[in-house]
Structure 1
Amino acid sequence: MNKQTLTEKQNWINEKLYQTTNHIQLPNKLKDALMYAIESGGKRLRPILMLSAFEAFSNHRDKIITPAVALEFIHTYSLIHDDLPAMDDDDLRRGKATLHKKFDEATAILIGDGLLTFAFQTITTSSKLEAEEKVYVLSQLSKSAGFEGMISGQFMDIEAENRHISPEVLSEIHHKKTGELIRSSVRIGAYLGGATPPQIEALDEYARYLGIIFQVQDDILDVIGSEEVIGKPVGSDESLNKSTYPQLLGMDGAIKRRDHYMLQAKKSLEEANVAQSDLWEFIELFGNRTH
Structure 2
Amino acid sequence: MSWLTNYVKPKLQKVLNPRETPDNLWHKCKSCGQMIFQKEFIANQYVCAHCDHHDRVPPTNRFDALFDNQVYDLIDLPSVKVDPLKFKDTKRYSERLKAARAKTGDEDAIKVAVGKIGGVETVVAIQNFFFMGGSMGMAVGDGIIAGARHALKIEAPFVMFTASGGARMQEGILSLMQMPRTTVAVQMLRDAGIPYVVVLTDPTSGGVSASYAMLGDVQIAEPGAMIAFSGPRVIEQTIREKLPDGFQRAEYLHEHGMVDMVVHRHEMKDQLGTVLGLLMGGRHTRRAAE
TM-score with structure 2 length normalisation? 0.32
**Which structure's residues are more often strand, by fraction?**
2
**Which structure's residues are more often helix, by fraction?**
1
Larger Rg: 2
TM-score with structure 1 length normalisation? 0.32
